[in-house]
Structure 1
């Protein structure tokens, strides 16, 4: 299940994100949808990078029964911008960023692995019938 904290004025249907979660994990996920200024604050506070980013993941440091897996924060400003830039839908971009963040929560890390994160993303892009342009973009 996804616990949604929508800090924007957009109405977002997350039912398709629930399907992705249920296919990959049995734990709940917190999803925070925000704007660039808020995600920039989080990025600076937690990664010491003073700029906005598209998605951040915060896995819980311990595994306890009935506790969520962690939190995914997505900037809606980035979703809109990248959907327009790459000529695909808002929903497809949101799915891609959600998948990216969810993979971080379950242990993938493109910054240190040997391409496993990207490979799993490509597999999920195909599985959920997302545009192939998303694969090219992530390669």
Structure 2
């Protein structure tokens, strides 16, 4: 009976660990905030990796890496259009994408690499709407 209780508590612990992220919608040219937070774990965080699959590039591609101390590495595009706004020590991997384009629409994946348990991730769907243009006429 004691062994069963220990196994049950271990399973409940695993279920509680999660990555929280929310889908987001943004208007063309505005900034998008991609929230990504890891909860309920004492494992060591080694790095956070952001990947994307967009209209422009439909194959998944790592584009941003965050390491201990908040040190960042940009890869494969976006250059000055991505900013780390989270807190590595608090396991918050949130980023902001600047000046969104229609081709930036897609699925963004936030992956937390943990030791010893391994990676945990979540997908965030990003929708980009074009700006509405309206021409008004005055009829007299």
Identify whether the pair has TM-score above 0.5, normalized to the shorter chain: no
More strand by share: 2
TM normalised by structure 2 equals 0.26
Greater RCO, CA 8 A, separation 6+: 2
Bigger radius of gyration: 2
More helix by share: 1
